[in-house]
Structure 1
Amino acid sequence: MNLIQTIRWVVVASLLSSCSFPPKPQTLPERDFVSDGCSLWPDGDIADCCVRHDYLYWQGGSPAERKRADQSLRRCVTEKGHPLEAWTMYVGVRLGGHGWLPTPFRWGFGYDWPRGYFESAPIDMENEHPDANLPGKRHEP
């Protein structure tokens, strides 16, 4: 099996597995909230956008909530005057932040893997996390 076939199988299995599990009810995440800021980007003047996005990813929720969180990140970074970076970050989080991936930055990373997607209470996307500088809640990679 070549690399392309392997990747295809992983994607198909991931998509099918999300269809076979019923949504889990919302509970508080098991892990404390941590943020690495903008991960692969210099934090600069967009750090607050990234920490809010990390907070939403920590909480997890439904696929629609993940899409809104990613759109909120893109909008915030664009409004700070970085439209190219915003688009690149948006594509990166849409591809790499899937809730079924076993990564430390996946959707719902506050829960043990595999948590996947679940329905949660509606989130106010304009005030996702008003205090982006929670003491003791941020770590540097």
Structure 2
Amino acid sequence: MKWLPLLILFAIYFSGCNYPPGPLQPPEKPFFSDGCSCFPDLGYSECCVDHDRIYWLGGTPDQRRAADDALRQCIAAKGRPMLSQMAFWGVRLGGHGWLPEPWRWGFGRRWPDGYYSKP
């Protein structure tokens, strides 16, 4: 279960998304993570860092939903089911790619280039 977010990252990376122009290009900005942002870290910061890696890359709305579900499952697996729901809704509401925030979907790319569609 601990490796699920990493597996999701690899699935997103190799999913065949249509990243214009041409083949998949890595994000322009280097990866960084602030852990669980403004959310309390009670022993599940690796869940947040894995989630940040996927958000940094960006992708489709379905991939974003999968990343958010993986975050919820990871935090719940650490014994925090109620906090997992709060974290899930926090990233669903505050992590849209159209928000010019440093934690948005696709934050490794120039805003608003976080979402891409499959061909």
Q: CA deviation at 1:27?
A: 1.5
What is the match of residue 114 of structure 2?
A: 116
Query: Secondary structure at 1:72's aligned position in 2?
Result: helix
Where does the alignment leave 5 or more consecutive residues of structure 1 unmatched? 1-22, 121-141
The corresponding residue for 2:59 is 61
Structure 1 runs of 4+ off > 4 angstroms?
Answer: none
Shift of 1:40: 1.2
Percent identity of equivalent pairs: 52
Name structure 2 gaps, 5 residues minimum.
1-17
- TM-score by length of structure 1 reads 0.66
Residue of structure 1 aligned with 2:32, choices 16, 31, 34: 34
Q: Say which one has the larger Rg.
A: 1
Shift of 1:78: 0.2
Cα-Cα RMSD: 1.4
CA distance in 1, matches of 2:19, 2:98: 13
Within the candidate set 99, 102, 107, 2:100 is matched to 102
Deviation, structure 1 residue 48: 0.5
The number of residues matched between the two structures is 98
